[in-house]
Structure 1
Amino acid sequence: MGLVFLWPILLIVTIIGLFDTGSPIFVQERVGRHKKPFNLIKFRTMSVETESVASHLASRSSITKLGAFLRKTKIDELPQLINVVKGEMSLVGPRPNLFNQEKLISERDALGVYDALPGITGLAQVNNIDMSTPELLAKTDREMLDKLNLRLYFVYIIATATGKGAGDRVS
């Protein structure tokens, strides 16, 4: 349903993104359920030359003007609805990390976080906990999964849609 209602926004951002970076869609291999790889789809918020690292390790100067707006409004996350439709992600779940984030993988693996589908948002995101604190993030992900119910599922979605959580930190 989200893709049906949001396609005009997706189209407009894609066209504007062509003028911003020349490549408006960003695809990156991430760790999925049971640690299987999948290609995460987002709108590009950083220059094309930016190294493929976790956001908290990237330079703030690599974020484009359009990218700053997309991150602030969380519009950059909308293409992940395609990942949800494909069954690779859920709307709510632990944010999918990169395969080079070994400490986070170890922490999440020990707590069984990879038994769940990764999500677009969740408890960590609405509480400004990002991948720069792997132990805290893994514990928060486990807490969310243990307590997740239908009410909390929608609480996290609404909190994200209304602007709670700052998104991934960039240095």
Structure 2
Amino acid sequence: MYQKYFKRGIDLFLSFCGIVVLSPLLLILAVIIKCTSKGPVLFKQKRIGKNDTHFMIYKFRTMYTDTPKDMPTHLLENPDAFITPIGHFLRKTSLDELPQLFNILKGDMAVVGPRPALWNQYDLIALRDENGSSTIRPGLTGLAQISGRDELEIPIKAKLDGQYAQKITFLEDVRILFATVFSVLCSEGVQEGKHS
């Protein structure tokens, strides 16, 4: 009942309130990004949404415009060479994710759900199709995000996504949100560049 009747309404309320309350911060970050490197303020990238549809995800741009496209940052050989002066701070604090509040407001995403895969992450997409997690909206945060983020192997990440999709409750969403705050404050699971 929660997923069918209430989850979307809560997402709308939280995203709208978040945009209003955080609008001064969003404006300040936009100005800093524009003043410290060439290129647009926002980074847009094609991602996989509910039922394997495509949408453009919004993030604050943290990398230079000549960075290889459609490649997860943790797979870059030397990500530091591509990250802008303010980019490290934005990524470490997850402030670069704030524009996704507009994705949530539009209906592309939820506050809690599997993180949206890149359109070319075929292995992750296939596993999500198998376990049913591709049938729900991707989220700003999720069970995998509080369980290791970039450090997780794709099969483990997909398994956690499937576990969440099978049992979506209000209390679980609240638990994930609080755990996300703790994870962000501690910068847990953030991995930049290839690790052996």
User: Which band: TM-score by shorter chain?
Assistant: over 0.9
Residue 106 (1) aligns with residue 122 (2): no
| 1:60 CA drift (Å) | 2.1
More moved, 3-12 vs 129-138: 129-138
Residue 60 (1) aligns with residue 79 (2): yes
Structure 2 residue corresponding to 1:156, chosen from 176, 179, 186: 176
1:46 is paired with a residue whose SS is coil
The answer (yes or no) to whether the contact 2:104–2:110 under 8 Å persists in 1 is: yes
Measure the CA separation in 2 of the matches of 1:152 and 1:35.
Answer: 24
Residue 166 (1) aligns with residue 164 (2): no
| 1:143 CA drift (Å) | 1.1
Ranges in structure 2 where 5+ consecutive residues have no aligned partner: 1-16
Question: TM-score w.r.t. structure 1 length?
Answer: 0.92
Matches within 5 A, 1:9-48: 9-22=25-38, 23-48=40-65
Measure the CA separation in 2 of the matches of 1:47 and 1:161.
Answer: 28
Measure the CA separation in 2 of the matches of 1:28 and 1:89.
Answer: 14
More moved, 160-169 vs 59-68: 160-169
Measure the CA separation in 1 of the matches of 2:151 and 2:111.
Answer: 18
- Ranges of 4+ aligned residues in structure 1 off by more than 6 Å: none
Residue 6 (1) aligns with residue 25 (2): no
**Taking structure 1 as reference, are residues 100 and 40 closer, same or farther at Cα in structure 2, changes over 3 Å only?**
same
| 1:145 CA drift (Å) | 2.0
Measure the CA separation in 1 of the matches of 2:48 and 2:181.
Answer: 24
Ranges in structure 1 where 5+ consecutive residues have no aligned partner: none
Residue 78 (1) aligns with residue 78 (2): no
The alignment of Structure 1 onto Structure 2 pairs a total of residues equal to 171
Residue 118 (1) aligns with residue 138 (2): yes
More moved, 23-32 vs 61-70: 61-70
Aligned-residue RMSD, C-alpha:
1.7
Aligned to 1:69: 89
1:123 is paired with a residue whose SS is coil
| 1:118 CA drift (Å) | 0.3
How many percent of aligned residue pairs carry the same amino acid?
39
Deviations 1:3-53 (A, max 9, x none): 000100100000000022232210101010011000000011111111121
Task: State the structure with more CA Rg.
Answer: 2
